[in-house]
């Protein structure tokens, strides 16, 4: 574990008092008004189908005379005793927040992060207040530590100004360091939910089945090369390349010829080892390491034909099964935290290291357009709400870019080193006293 001490800091109590006053001023709330925090509400949703279907003014009080009581009893006053008052530590007028030195803080839109955080709070409201978010890392505290922030976020309108004031008022950033990297950085890639053209019956083009999870565990555990349309219920047929990349992304949407659209969501896998076909192509010399993107792999497949494409796909023995869901407007697929993912506000992490719902400020390069392999350095605030077969180890993240081809064009070229900072509730961050948070 790497540690770094900061300058002497005010007490947690004074810090919390300051932040509470600062946050109220930001919102124009009278400092004399009591603030009542209510518990997070639980949002109930209906069952998910498994088959597709097409101010009277307040009167001024009148002063009442105090009731007359018995005359006071006079007692002698003792001689005064001089007592030296205890020395009180000074409370600074301005407490410098670590946000002031956080790279790129305030430079981007924090609305997606507020939207995704509100969804995490809905799940946490069902948890035991005293249960830790992570048994491996108590630094993330218990659910009750996050409750004050959730109470305020619940009724907060989602926009950048609200989000910026909210996060800066209730949280403090803590530096993460990666012991597996020479410079302490991590890696951020991207993923998205594709929209596939599909058919109900197979033909020469739409020949690859999208399968439901088999009822027989022995069949479910077969490697990819042994799984076919007879292995389980077929939800739809798509192009082989499209279906493979649907499995890589983990969820998406299917669109039939008559215009009907449904979501296909992750419903399990075959417990086989995941192998990156991009790395296979690089190792064989078919693609350069710096350009092994989704687009480059698709171009290679189109060039070599269906047989070599099938052979390459079978190099990855992992197979993903799906279930159909109704589409909800403006909502992404459900991640491993069982909440709809938010474009540019959710990411997949290794849940063995980071708890679902944890907040991270990630400083990295993000593509500005399709084909932009270089990207522009910026910061993005993300909630850990998903996981993935290839997302393993400390400071390894996968940013959800959204749904459709435009999101896919950006996700396909996202692969850059990244510096990570955890946003913790103030009392948890200050308890660390400047310690760099361990990550493994």
Alpha-carbon dihedral sign for residues 8, 11, 15, 18: negative
User: Cβ(324)–Cβ(49) under 8 Å?
Assistant: yes
Q: Where is 261: in which H helix or E strand?
A: strand 261-269
Domain ranges in the chain are 98-190+334-432, 193-326
Residue 366 CB-density burial (10 A; 0-12 exposed, 13-18 middle, 19+ buried): buried
Q: What residue ranges in 274-340 does DSSP mark as E strands?
A: 320-325
Count CB atoms within 10 A of the CB of residue 13.
Answer: 11
Query: What is the third-level CATH fold of 193-326?
Result: Ribosomal Protein L25; Chain P (2.40.240)
Residue 309 CB-density burial (10 A; 0-12 exposed, 13-18 middle, 19+ buried): buried
Distance CA 178, CA 382 (A): 18
SS3 28: coil
Please report how many Cα atoms fall inside a 13 Å half-sphere around the Cα of residue 3, on the Cβ side: 5
Q: Six-digit token pair at 195? A: 């929209």
Question: Which residues lie across from 325 on neighbouring strands?
Answer: 263
Query: What does the pLDDT profile of the chain (440 residues) look like in tens digits?
Result: 443 333 334 454 555 555 555 554 444 444 333 333 333 334 444 444 445 444 545 444 444 444 455 555 555 555 554 444 444 333 333 334 589 889 999 888 999 999 999 999 999 999 999 999 998 889 999 999 999 999 999 999 999 999 999 999 999 999 988 888 888 899 999 999 999 999 999 999 999 999 999 999 999 999 999 999 999 999 999 999 999 999 999 999 999 999 999 999 999 999 999 999 999 999 999 999 887 888 889 899 999 999 999 999 999 999 999 999 988 767 899 999 999 999 999 999 999 999 999 999 999 999 999 989 999 999 999 999 999 888 999 999 999 999 999 999 999 999 999 999 999 999 999 888 655 554 55
- The answer as to CATH 3.40.190.10 being correct for domain 98-190+334-432 is no
Q: Tell me, yes or no, if the two domains 98-190+334-432 and 193-326 fold the same way.
A: no
DSSP 99: G
The pLDDT value given to residue 113: 97
SS3 150: helix
Q: What residue ranges in 286-348 does DSSP mark as E strands?
A: 320-325, 346-348
Q: Six-digit token pair at 189? A: 């890639």
Count CB atoms within 10 A of the CB of residue 211.
Answer: 24
């Amino acid at each position: 574990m790497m540690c770094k001490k900061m300058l002497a800091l005010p007490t947690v109590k004074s810090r919390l008092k300051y932040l509470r006053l600062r946050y109220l001023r930001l919102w124009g709330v009278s400092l004399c008004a009591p603030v009542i925090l209510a518990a997070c509400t639980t949002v109930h949703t209906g069952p998910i189908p498994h088959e597709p279907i097409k101010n009277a003014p307040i009167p001024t009080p009148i002063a009442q005379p105090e009731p007359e009581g018995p005359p006071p009893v006079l007692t002698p006053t003792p001689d005064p005793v001089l007592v030296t008052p205890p020395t009180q530590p000074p409370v600074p007028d301005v407490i410098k927040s670590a946000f002031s030195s956080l790279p790129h803080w305030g430079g981007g839109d924090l609305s997606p992060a507020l939207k995704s955080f509100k969804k995490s709070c809905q799940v946490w409201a069902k948890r035991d207040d005293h249960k830790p978010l992570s048994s491996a890392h108590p630094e993330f505290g218990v659910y009750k530590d996050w409750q004050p922030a959730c109470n305020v976020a619940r009724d907060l309108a989602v926009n950048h100004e609200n989000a910026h004031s909210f996060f800066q008022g209730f949280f403090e950033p803590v530096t993460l360091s990666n012991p597996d990297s020479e410079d302490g950085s991590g890696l951020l890639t991207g993923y998205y939910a594709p929209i596939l053209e599909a058919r109900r019956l197979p033909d020469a083009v739409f020949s690859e089945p999208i399968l439901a999870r088999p009822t027989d565990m022995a069949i479910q555990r077969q490697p990819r090369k042994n799984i076919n349309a007879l292995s389980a219920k077929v939800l739809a047929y798509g192009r082989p390349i499209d279906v493979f990349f649907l499995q890589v992304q983990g969820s998406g949407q299917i669109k039939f010829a008559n215009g009907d659209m449904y979501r296909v969501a992750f419903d399990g896998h075959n417990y086989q080892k995941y192998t990156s076909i991009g790395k296979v192509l690089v190792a064989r010399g078919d693609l350069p390491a710096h350009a092994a993107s989704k687009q480059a792999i698709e171009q290679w497949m189109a060039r070599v034909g269906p047989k070599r494409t099938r052979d390459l796909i079978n190099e990855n023995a992992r197979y993903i099964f799906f279930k159909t869901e109704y589409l909800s407007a403006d909502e992404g697929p459900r991640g491993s935290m069982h909440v709809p993912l938010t474009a540019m506000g959710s990411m997949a992490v290794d849940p063995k290291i980071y708890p679902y719902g944890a907040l991270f400020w990630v400083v990295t390069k993000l593509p500005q357009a399709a084909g932009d392999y270089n990207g522009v350095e910026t910061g993005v605030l993300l909630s850990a709400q998903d996981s993935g077969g290839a997302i393993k180890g400390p400071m390894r993240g996968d940013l959800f870019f959204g749904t459709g081809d435009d999101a896919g064009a950006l996700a396909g070229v996202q692969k850059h080193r990244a510096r990570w900072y955890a946003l913790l509730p103030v009392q948890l961050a200050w308890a660390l006293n400047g310690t760099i948070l361990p990550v493994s």
